[in-house]
Amino acid sequence: MRIAMFCSGRYPTPPAEDVIFAPIWITSFLADEMARRGHEVTLFGAKGSKSKGKVVDLGLPPLETHPTLPGCIDIRKDRVINFYEQIYISEIYRRAQKREFDIVHIHPVDIAINFAVNSSVPTVFTLHDPISCWRKFVYELYSKNKNINFVSISESQRGPSKKINYIDTIYNGIDIKKYKFDEKGGDYLFEASRVVPLKGFDLAVKVAQKSGLPLKIAGEILDARYWEEKLKPFIGGKISYEGMISPFELPKLYRKAKAFIFPIQWEEPFGLVMIEAMACGAPVVAFDRGSVKEVVKDGVTGFVIPPLNKKGEPNIEGMAEAVKKIDKIDRAACRKHVKDNFTLEKMVEKYEKVYEKIVKKNR
pLDDT band with cut points at 50, 70 and 90 for residue 248: confident
Q: Domain residues of the chain, as ranges?
A: 2-173+343-362, 176-341
Q: Please provide the DSSP assignment of 298-359 as one string.
A: BTTTEEEE-SB-TTSSB-HHHHHHHHHTGGGS-HHHHHHHHHHH-BHHHHHHHHHHHHHHHH
Whole-structure pTM over 0.85, yes or no?
Answer: yes
Residue 42 has pLDDT above 80, yes or no: yes
DSSP character at residue 243 = -
Residue 363 has pLDDT above 80, yes or no: no
CATH classification code of 2-173+343-362 = 3.40.50.2000
**pLDDT computed for residue 348 by the predictor:** 96
Distances (CA, A) of 119 to 43, 99, 141: 19, 10, 16
User: In terms of C-beta density within 10 A (0-12 exposed, 13-18 middle, 19 or more buried), how is residue 168 classed?
Assistant: middle
- Average pLDDT value for residue range 13-29: 91
**What letter represents residue 27's amino acid?**
T
pLDDT in tens, 141-156: 998 899 999 999 999 9
Asked if 305 contacts 285 with a C-beta cutoff of 8 angstroms, the reply is: yes
pLDDT band with cut points at 50, 70 and 90 for residue 49: very high
Residue 20 has pLDDT above 90, yes or no: no
Same fold, 2-173+343-362 and 176-341: yes
Cα separation, 131 vs 140, in Å, equals 11
pLDDT band with cut points at 50, 70 and 90 for residue 17: confident
DSSP character at residue 60 = P
**pLDDT computed for residue 276 by the predictor:** 97
pLDDT band with cut points at 50, 70 and 90 for residue 362: confident
Residue 298 has pLDDT above 90, yes or no: yes
- Average pLDDT value for residue range 232-255: 94
Q: Which fold has domain 176-341?
A: Rossmann fold (3.40.50)
**pLDDT computed for residue 303 by the predictor:** 98
Cα separation, 56 vs 237, in Å, equals 51
Cα separation, 99 vs 1, in Å, equals 12
pLDDT in tens, 184-236: 999 999 999 999 999 999 999 999 999 999 999 999 999 999 999 999 999 99
Residue 137 has pLDDT above 90, yes or no: yes
- Average pLDDT value for residue range 8-28: 92
Backbone angles phi, psi at 281, to 5 degrees: 105, -5
The partner residues of 262 in beta bridges, in order of sequence, read 286
**pLDDT computed for residue 18 by the predictor:** 80
Q: Residue 289, Cα to own-chain centre: how many angstroms?
A: 16
pLDDT band with cut points at 50, 70 and 90 for residue 361: confident
- Average pLDDT value for residue range 28-44: 97
Nearest CA among 263, 270, 289 for reference residue 202: 263
pLDDT in tens, 305-347: 999 999 999 999 999 999 999 999 999 999 999 999 999 999 9
Query: Contacts from 297-302 at CB under 8 Å and sequence distance 24+?
Result: 297/333, 297/337, 299/329, 300/329, 300/330, 300/333, 300/337, 301/329, 301/333, 301/334, 301/337, 302/259, 302/260, 302/278, 302/326, 302/329, 302/334
pLDDT in tens, 52-105: 999 999 999 999 999 999 999 999 899 999 999 999 999 999 999 999 999 999
pLDDT above 70: percentage of residues in the chain:
100
Asked if 192 contacts 219 with a C-beta cutoff of 8 angstroms, the reply is: yes
**Nearest 5 degrees, angle CA 127-CA 132-CA 138?**
75
The partner residues of 105 in beta bridges, in order of sequence, read 5, 124
